[in-house]
Amino acid sequence: MNTNQHTCRFCAEPLNRRFCDLGLSPLSNAFIRKADLGRMEPFYPLQADVCEQCLLVQVPQFETPEQIFSDYVYFSSFSDSWLKHCEAFATDAISRFKLGQQSRVVEIASNDGYLLRFFHRAGIPVLGVEPAANVAQAAQADGIDTVVNFFGAAFAKKLVADGKQADMVVCNNVFAHVPDLNDFTEGLNTLLKPTGVLSIEFPHLQRLIEQSQFDTIYHEHFCYFSFLTARRVLAHHGMTVFDVIQLPTHGGSLRVLAQHADTGPRTVTRNVADLVDQESRFGIDKLDLYLQFDDKARVVKRDLLEFLIRAKRDGKSVAGYGAPAKGNTLLNYCGIRQDFLDYTVDRNPEKQGRFLPGTRIPVYAPEQLKVTKPDYVLILPWNIKDEVVAQTGYIRDWGGRFVIPIPSLQVID
């Protein structure tokens, strides 16, 4: 499916400006089973454009959400640092917004129940909306009420009619995943009670640009938000941002807290004005900033390839850690296959025994590192590098070293 999108998915202005061109790439979570290695694999252009009117960075839609998300291999619970982040959020939200047994928390794209479990354990009624049936089953098995469906305005009306309107709606790293941005946001507005709180977390476009995080661009991420643009989208659908928190997750994210513009009772915090000023000083409201990003991605590509070529010429072995979507963007853009990366490992059993899309690099359990004792371990989920280094520090026993590709190449002992 190629929609041949030539207009902005928020404001409908023509898209004439390129943010970056990452060549051709498969869907980043379309992991390959061994039995399918002989079959054709679809590749699509991976190009991000920026709207000159609203400055929303976006990629065209080539596949339906049903094709991308209905059978998903990403499970949130396999990152310890992410679980700690979510537990802290739940604890703070319960206290700050006085959530209790009479409240309801609904999470959109609730995955395996990784977040809702913390509200559930506190006795707060929860509901997850998750399009991937295989992932939703894991949440249901853990006692988290979860419905399998794609979220939008029509489904939000159904939930409200069923008495499931929410005191808090949570959207963690899903705002970027919806091709029909306006329909999705209107659904959030419908689902939220008049005095409810909407919490949205997404990677911050400013950090993406600052730190050359081009690998966070892939076909499942349809949009990339600055605070400036996110506020515009929410305001267009009748919601006001009353607080924003800058987070270290995913290389630098924002937690945006919003309420109904006409019935929300909360005072806007100083954080909002401070971040508006920060982005303005960075130049987030200037088109020129966006048009320089392609060159930053090319620098990262060249530096990583130069390192790998040198390592292989010196007879060194290189393995990967992790099989994240961002890693697949990086490897495909750089043209890295088994000639440079012997294999990668991942804690998620759903990925083990499969092969990375495009590059066909095999995925093993982490114990494989102890078997082959690679000289270098390339950390593909660089956003949790501290967690990875702590878990696999044993590679130092044979002189192994870690390689961090982004924001710039770094080799650490």
Going along the chain from its start, the domains and CATH numbers come out as: 69-290 (3.40.50.150), 315-412 (3.40.50.720)
Q: Per-residue pLDDT for the chain (413 aa), expressed as one digit of tens each?
A: 334 568 999 999 999 999 999 999 999 989 999 999 999 999 999 999 999 999 999 999 876 665 655 554 544 445 678 889 999 999 999 999 999 999 999 999 998 898 999 999 999 999 999 988 888 888 899 899 999 999 999 999 999 999 999 999 999 999 999 999 999 999 999 999 999 999 999 999 999 999 999 999 999 899 999 999 999 999 999 999 999 999 998 889 999 999 999 999 999 999 999 999 999 999 999 999 999 999 999 999 999 999 999 999 999 999 999 999 999 999 999 999 999 999 999 999 989 999 999 999 999 999 999 999 999 999 999 999 999 999 999 999 999 999 999 999 999 99
The model's pTM is 0.90
Strands 105-108 and 166-172 come out as parallel
> What integer pLDDT is reported at residue 77 of this predicted model?
47
